Structure 1
C-alpha cells in the first residue's frame, strides 16, 4: 500500500521514533484497505494545541556552530509542516511522532513572557541577543491566537534587551511597530527564510508557510520600516532547491534585504527517514540522486552531528554551492554578516512587572 500525502501537511505519515524504546503503534495493511469502505473516509487531520505549564523559557547552549548562546521557543511543534525541519525529532521526547504529530499536535507556553521577566530580573543576569525561531517558527499560525512572540518583544523593548527573529511567515508584519521601535535602538534584526521562488514547490516542502512572494513582501515592508532584514536561503536541498540560489539572492536585494546567508539541508535522527519518504512520494525520479548528494557532503551518511562539521558540509558539491552563493551575494551587494546589536541598554525588570528604580 502506497502512502499518499495529506493535503496541507508536509510529512507523509505519523512515523514514530525508535530512539527511546517507546512502544510502536502499527495498523494492519488489509484493515487499512477495508477501513474506508466500512467506516467511510478518515476524518480530516486537524491541528490541536495543548497549553504547557513550562518552568523556564530561556534555553542556553554552548555550541561552537551557532552564533548565539540563548534562545526562546514559546511553541513546540510547528504547523508550517516543513518536511526538512531539524526540530521534528523534539516531538519524540513527548512520545509523539516527529512526522504528522509534529505539525498537528502543537504546544503553547502561555506564561512565556512572565517566565522571561523572572529570568531577566535575576541578580547577575548578563544580556546577550535572544534568538527566536531557532527551533519552531515564532510566527506560525497559532501566534495569531496566543501572541506569545509579541509579548516577548514587548518585554525586550521595555527592558532594552536585544532579540533576533528567524521566520518564514509574513505574519511577522503584525509586529512591525515593535520591531521598528527595537530596530531604532539597535536591538533587533530579522531573518526571513526563503527556499525557492516556486510556490508549487514551496507547497510541497513547507505546506502551511507563507508563499515566497509573501515572504519577500515582508522583507520589503520591514526594511522600509527601518528593520534590518536578512534573507536566509535555508535549507538548500541538492537537486530540489539549489537551482534557485542566484534568483533568491537577486530578489532579496531588490526587496531591500541587507544581507544573506545559507544552510545546507540537515537530516538529524527521524528527519532522514521522513525526508526519504517525502522524496519517494514527490520526487521519485531523483530521490536516489538527492540522497547521494546529501551523503557526499556528510561523510557518506545521511547526517553529521559532530561539532564544527554539522553546519559545514564538505566535498565537491558543497564547495560548488558555497562558491556560487558567495559570488552571487557579492554581485548583488548583500552583506555576509548580520548587524551587531546593542546590549548596553538593558535595564532589569523587577518581579512585579515594573522597571527597577535607581
Structure 2
C-alpha cells in the first residue's frame, strides 16, 4: 500500500489526505510517477475529479456485544454498528483498528466503511441468552453510531428497538445530530432510567472543527442536539475529548455552553496517539499548524513519559505530569463552578426482560 498523498484542496470533508500504510504490511512501498498518475493528481488538485467517495461493505457479524475488563473504563459492555467512521476526526484513536482489515488507518478509515447488517438480530440472540448479565451498554465508543451513513442504513435504529424491547440500559456517545431521530425510543427509556446520551463537543471554533472533525456536526448544531435531548427528558452529558495542547483551548467555554444547553454531566480525555495515529497527526499539524507543531507534540510527549503514547491504564486517558494536572484542574474547577456531575448516569439493570426477546425468537 503506497503512501500516496492527495492534494488537501481535493479532499474537502476528509480528515487525512493520504493512505497511511498500516503496521502489518510486510513491504514498504513508495509511489512512483510513471506519467499516468500525475494526471489524476493534477485533476484532483484542479477540482476536475471528485474527491474520494464513501464506500460501504456489508458484514455479517458473529457477535454484537464486545466486552472489556479495562480498569480505566466505566463500562464493560460495548456495541458499534460500524467499522470505520465517516466523520474523519484526525485524532480518532480507533483509526488503527482498520489495519486489522488490511486497510489504511488514514483515508480508508473514513472512506471504506464496514456495516454490520445483522447486528440487531445478533444482539437479540445475545441478550436472550441465559448467560447474558445486564450492565451498561456503551454505544459509539469506538466509531460513531450516528455517522452520516446511518441516515440511510438505520442500523442504530434497529439496535435501539431491540434494547427498548428488552429494557436494557444503554449510554450513547456521539457527535452526530442524527441521534435526534431516535428520541421517540430514547425518551421512554430515559423515563425508566435506562438511557443517557453524551454529545462530544471538542471546540466551539467552527473553523477548527471543520479541519479537526470534517464530517461531524458543527459545534453549534451539537449544542442544539444537547438542548433538544434535554428538553425531551433524556439525561445528557458532554464530552470535551480529546484535549489537545495549544489546539482546542476553549474547554471552559465549551462546558459553559453545553451547561446552558442542558447538559448535566461531563468528562474528558487527553489526546491518544496509538500505533499509526502518531505520524498521521504529526502530518496534520505540519499542514495546518506548522508554527506550533513542535510545541504541541512536546506537550503531548510530556504527558506520555516522553513518548507519543503510553497504553498504561493509569495514564492513557488523562496523561501524567504537570501539563496533565493543569488540564485536570481546569476541568474540575469549571465543572464545580457550573454544577456538573462528573459521574456517569446511574442506569437501572433490574428492569431487564430477556423473556420478551426469547418469545420473539420462538416465532422464527
Q: Separation in 2 of the partners of 1:22 and 1:95?
A: 11
Match of 2:251 in 1: 245
Does the 8 A contact of 1:12 with 1:274 survive in 2? no
Note the C-alpha offset of 1:304.
0.7
TM-score (norm: length of structure 2) = 0.93
**How big is the shift at 1:218?**
0.4
Q: Which residue of 2 aligns with 1:16?
A: 21
Q: Tell me, yes or no, if the aligned pair for 1:231 and 1:252 is still in contact at 8 Å.
A: yes
CA distance in 2, matches of 1:36, 1:57: 40
Cα 1:31/1:316, change in 2 over 3 Å: farther
The whole-number CA distance in structure 1 between the counterparts of 2:42 and 2:340 is 59
C-alpha separation in 2, matches of 1:37 and 1:212: 32
Gaps of 5+ in 1: none
Q: Relative to 1, partners in 2 of residues 1:164 and 1:22: Cα closer, same or farther, differing over 3 Å?
A: farther
2:291 aligned partner? 285
Give the Cα separation in 1 of the matches to 2:255 and 2:133.
Answer: 36
Q: 1:214-293 residue pairs with structure 2 within 5 A? A: 214-241=221-248, 243-293=249-299
Q: TM-score, normalised to structure 1's length?
A: 0.94
2:39 counterpart (20, 27, 35):
35
Alignment of structure 1 residues 1-358 onto 2, 5 Å: 4-5=7-8, 6-17=11-22, 19-29=23-33, 31=35, 34-36=38-40, 41-241=48-248, 243-349=249-355, 354=360
The answer to whether the Cα contact below 8 Å between 1:74 and 1:108 also exists between their aligned partners in 2 is yes
Find the aligned partners of 1:119 and 1:62 in 2 and give their Cα distance.
Answer: 19
Q: Paired residues, what number?
A: 355
Following the alignment from structure 2 to structure 1, what is the Cα–Cα distance between the partners of residues 29 and 182? 42
Query: How far is 1:310 from its partner?
Result: 1.1
Work out whether residues 129 and 164 of structure 1, in 8 Å CA contact, stay in contact via their aligned partners in 2: yes
Secondary structure at the residue paired with 1:101? helix
Q: Secondary structure at the match of 1:264?
A: coil
What displacement does 1:29 show?
Answer: 4.9
Other structure's SS at 1:307 match? coil
2:65 touches 2:123 (CA, 8 Å); kept in 1? yes
Retained in 2: the 8 A contact 1:82–1:207?
yes
Q: Any idea what SS the aligned residue of 2:25 has?
A: coil
Residues 164 and 202 (structure 1), Cα distance of their counterparts in 2 relative to 1, 3 Å cut = same
Shift of 1:190: 0.7
RMSD: 2.1
Shift of residue 42, structure 1, vs aligned partner: 4.8
Per-residue deviation, 1:146 = 1.3
C-alpha distance in 2 between matches for 1:170 and 1:73? 17
CA shift digits 1:11-65 (9 cap, x unpaired): 1211111x22344453115748832489785542100000001111111111111
Sort the Cα spacing of 1:196 and 1:32 in 2 relative to 1 into closer, same or farther, 3 A: farther
What does the per-residue CA deviation read over 1:210-258, in whole Å, with 9 as the maximum and x for residues that have no partner? 00000000000100101000000011110000x2111001101100111
Q: Give me the whole-angstrom Cα distance separating, in 2, the residues matched to 1:252 and 1:36.
A: 44
Alpha-carbon distance in structure 2 between the residues aligned to 1:328 and 1:37: 47
Instruction: Tell me the distance in 2 between the aligned counterparts of 1:39 and 1:297.
Output: 42
